[in-house]
Chains A and B, each alone.
Chain A
Amino acid sequence: GESVGLHLPTLSVQEGDNSIINCAYSNSASDYFIWYKQESGKGPQFIIDIRSNMDKRQGQRVTVLLNKTVKHLSLQIAATQPGDSAVYFCAEISANAGGTSYGKLTFGQGTILTVHP
């Protein structure tokens, strides 16, 4: 079935470095992708999203890149800070050809980002 997965389960960086977290997806019908940050003991928190008709989207210190050819997206965090330490999930929502969609959100496995001072 459709799935969204991550290449690297853990990533350790030094404070101030840039971080890149990768994600592969298999459902070509996906039309919307979201990156979530999850801190210990909390629910997923929205970071940034991108629609399938875009290749790149930038936010504050974060950039998401989408390569539909190879079904890959990445999250880039600039000047990573200790407060960025968390688990990062990519998730996708598939287009619904049947009209009103309940917007099923499918999550990947997650990458643990650790930022060392």
Chain B
Amino acid sequence: NAGVTQTPKFQVLKTGQSMTLQCAQDMNHNSMYWYRQDPGMGLRLIYYSASEGTTDKGEVPNGYNVSRLNKREFSLRLESAAPSQTSVYFCASRTGHYGYTFGSGTRLTVV
């Protein structure tokens, strides 16, 4: 089925370790987004890519980097994980001005 695919679904890291969260969409959407969701909170924007070849900071970018590898893929990297980055991470893609589609999330725990 068409949609947004995130890997991995679960991950446990030690403080200081690095990892990359992968996201791919097969809907030919131009824009892609990374959000984090903390307990009892709405989603907050980390980084976004309005189109292939561009990336910009969102509301909470510190401690993260992103790469828009091609039109389909948008990865989120944690260079040195911290406990404050324990969260659920959602990737989304968008067509037009309004049509967001979300992935099922990656649950990350940093110990």
User: Are B56 and A102 interface neighbours, CB within 8 A?
Assistant: yes
Complex Cα distance A4/B59, Å?
A: 14
Judge if A42 is at the interface, Cβ distance under 8 Å: yes
B40 is contacted by which of A34, A49, A110 (Cβ under 8 Å)? A110
For chain A, residues 84 to 117, give those with C-beta under 8 angstroms from any C-beta of chain B.
89, 91, 93, 100-110
Q: How many B residues, CB 8 Å from partner?
A: 23
Residue of A43, A45, A107, A109 with most partner-chain B CB within 10 A: A43
A103-B94 contact given A109-B40, A109-B42, A110-B40, CB 8 Å threshold = yes
Complex Cα distance A34/B98, Å?
A: 9
User: Are A44 and B94 interface neighbours, CB within 8 A?
Assistant: no
Bitwise, A16-38 to B at CB < 8 A (1) or not (0) is: 00000000000000001010000
Complex Cα distance A51/B75, Å?
A: 31
User: Are A89 and B42 interface neighbours, CB within 8 A?
Assistant: yes
How many contacting A-B pairs (Cβ < 8 A)? 58
A93-B104 contact given A102-B56, A105-B45, A109-B41, CB 8 Å threshold = no
User: Are A43 and B45 interface neighbours, CB within 8 A?
Assistant: no
Q: How many A residues, CB 8 Å from partner?
A: 25
User: Are A107 and B103 interface neighbours, CB within 8 A?
Assistant: no
Complex Cα distance A100/B44, Å?
A: 22
Complex Cα distance A23/B64, Å?
A: 30
Which residues of B come within 8 Å of A, CB atoms?
4, 31, 33, 40-45, 48, 50, 56, 58, 90, 92, 94, 97-98, 100, 102-105
